[in-house]
Chains A and B, each alone.
Chain A
């Protein structure tokens, strides 16, 4: 059935305006990253007059961007892997077993989502310092501390989403595996994990993005050697000047890996949300 004109026109206008809204900052980011410093310090120009790739070379010199990059990759990567593994175990338990305390567990874990991050910033800082003093394991200021923090940030949502995803996998599948002689754990890894791989990818993407984009804990809990991109990008602003072209170039460089990865995997995210969160 053909849609009426009123619908088509509303759709056209709405989508055009929304596209402009979405694209605007991306355009500014790209175009400003190709301008010389005089140009970004002056009036904004829609069409850059003097194109240059200079900022893309300078960003690595102005601040140790490569080091921040490595820190961010290590921290976000490790947090993602750990978070996914922990979430798979927990979601399997919640989805496949009935046990005492199940409801308490799910409610508690989910409700941590609503805690304001600011509430446990200082306590966590003190805990890490105390653990460091007592055991010699440096959590404060180290990558490990940040990994530990971040992996719990994405955990509640991951467990929730994966539980929904596992629930959607017919029990006959793992029961068949058990009949064939698999223990519960090998049933999990041989049957459920492969069947739930879209959901697991979705959770991994979510966990990675959470860790890659976090600012508050990154600014309090890192030092000169462990600083991540979230904090490092502020280094382009000096007392007198902001190197806006370099800020934009660096923003683009740090965004490209996540955006590309995300867009490639986004259909899994929709699939994961459909099965997990949206029921």
Chain B
């Protein structure tokens, strides 16, 4: 391997450009230039077919009067301009009102869920950083919710939250005597909290996994130096561990945010096709309102609005966090 240090001027291999260097030398020929594109081709084609073209179609559909009559031949559906959008954001009419309500519910739900997932994951990862008896077992156990298929896990929670034969009411009502009669958890206002519990149960191990990976990048001697200076465990966590996790957290929170905001599977398995109003997350809401009214144009308009919102939030978030990083590095 030491041989590689020797320069081979005749070697036609494409050298990897270091940051200051110009792109791959032209003389290496067309085949070499084409190679990266050939390698990317399968990924590109798949992304085009399954993500980009459908997205463009979705945008086009949002400007069409796409009712069930045109569904097989969507190209012939009449253009309707911004009609679908005006319907979606007319907050005085039922459709817009329901969309706004669902949107606000989703925002509150996402903030709570992401916050709790982050907190549980980070705390668990920090507590399991030092070796103690049972650490390996807990590390494995905590990943079980992540590994379980969504439908199997969520269906179990749905069983636990059953009014008459579920564990939750058995504990709360029969054993602890809370409430005059067993509560409903899967309909009515409680459904919000039910969904939150299930979502956090399913989501926090991802934060745990990511933070654990991030913790491995913190050099041990930083802790040793801090200990020599007399900093206790809590101080070390506050001044070494948490600041070192900054860049990990920036990615983690963004990913959790996007997954939670777009989550369809959890409410769908927990409540079925129509979620109770209190837990009507936006993905399920759009799905349900599209298939209920069979007006896919409006559904598409809602999806596009959702995408725009996510794009703006992500953009602002990335801008803020990258600026924060720059100033903190100085």
Given contacts A1-B227, A117-B283, A266-B140, contact A86 B233 (CB under 8 A): no
B310 touches A116 (CB 8 A): yes
Of B47, B128, B265, the residue contacting A215 (CB under 8 A) is B265
B40 touches A90 (CB 8 A): yes
Residue of B nearest to A90 (CB): B43
Given contacts A112-B51, A230-B149, A270-B212, contact A247 B155 (CB under 8 A): yes
Residues of chain A at the chain B interface (Cβ within 8 Å): 1, 3-4, 6-7, 11, 14-15, 18-19, 21-26, 28-29, 32, 40-44, 85-87, 89-90, 92-94, 96-100, 102, 105, 108-109, 111-124, 126-127, 129, 148-149, 151-152, 155-156, 159, 171-173, 175-176, 178-179, 184, 209, 212-216, 219, 229-230, 233, 244, 247-248, 251-252, 254-255, 258-259, 262-263, 266, 269-271, 273-274, 277-279
Other contacts beyond A25-B160, A213-B150, A229-B151: 20, CB < 8 A: A4-B233, A18-B124, A22-B145, A25-B153, A28-B167, A92-B39, A108-B47, A112-B47, A119-B58, A127-B54, A155-B43, A175-B15, A178-B11, A179-B13, A230-B151, A254-B152, A262-B147, A270-B212, A274-B213, A278-B251
Q: Among residues 115 to 129 in chain B, which have CB atoms less than 8 Å away from a CB atom of chain A?
A: 120, 123-124, 127-128
* A255–B154 CA distance with the chains assembled, in angstroms: 12
* A252–B147 CA distance with the chains assembled, in angstroms: 12
Residue of A nearest to B153 (CB): A25
Chain B residues, Cβ within 8 Å of A233: 151-152, 155
B311 touches A277 (CB 8 A): no
- Say yes or no: is B214 at the interface (Cβ < 8 Å to chain A): yes
- Binary contact readout B29-58 vs A (1 if CB under 8 angstroms, 0 otherwise): 000010111011011101101111111011
B290 touches A172 (CB 8 A): no
A179 touches B8 (CB 8 A): yes
A122 touches B61 (CB 8 A): yes
Q: Is the interface of A mostly helix, strand, loop or mixed?
A: helix
Chain B residues, Cβ within 8 Å of A100: 23
B303 touches A118 (CB 8 A): yes
Interface size on B, residues (CB 8 A): 108
Q: Chain B nearest CB: distance from A40 CB in Å?
A: 6
What are 19 pairs between A and B in contact, CB < 8 Å? A22-B144, A22-B201, A23-B141, A28-B159, A89-B40, A99-B36, A116-B261, A120-B51, A126-B57, A172-B1, A179-B4, A179-B13, A215-B268, A233-B155, A251-B156, A255-B152, A258-B149, A277-B251, A278-B248
A120 touches B50 (CB 8 A): yes
B16 touches A259 (CB 8 A): no
Chain A residues, Cβ within 8 Å of B155: 233, 247, 251
- Say yes or no: is B90 at the interface (Cβ < 8 Å to chain A): no
B36 touches A117 (CB 8 A): no
Residues of chain B at the chain A interface (Cβ within 8 Å): 1, 3-4, 8, 11, 13-17, 23-24, 33, 35-37, 39-40, 42-44, 46-47, 49-55, 57-58, 61, 71-72, 74, 120, 123-124, 127-128, 130, 138, 140-153, 155-157, 159-160, 162, 164-167, 169-170, 174, 201, 209-210, 212-214, 216-217, 227, 232-234, 247-248, 251, 255, 258, 261-262, 264-265, 268-269, 282-283, 286-287, 290, 296, 299-300, 303-304, 306-307, 310-311, 314
Most buried by B among A116, A127, A247: A116
Chain B residues, Cβ within 8 Å of A43: 164-165, 170, 174
Chain A residues, Cβ within 8 Å of B72: 129
Most buried by B among A44, A113, A255: A44
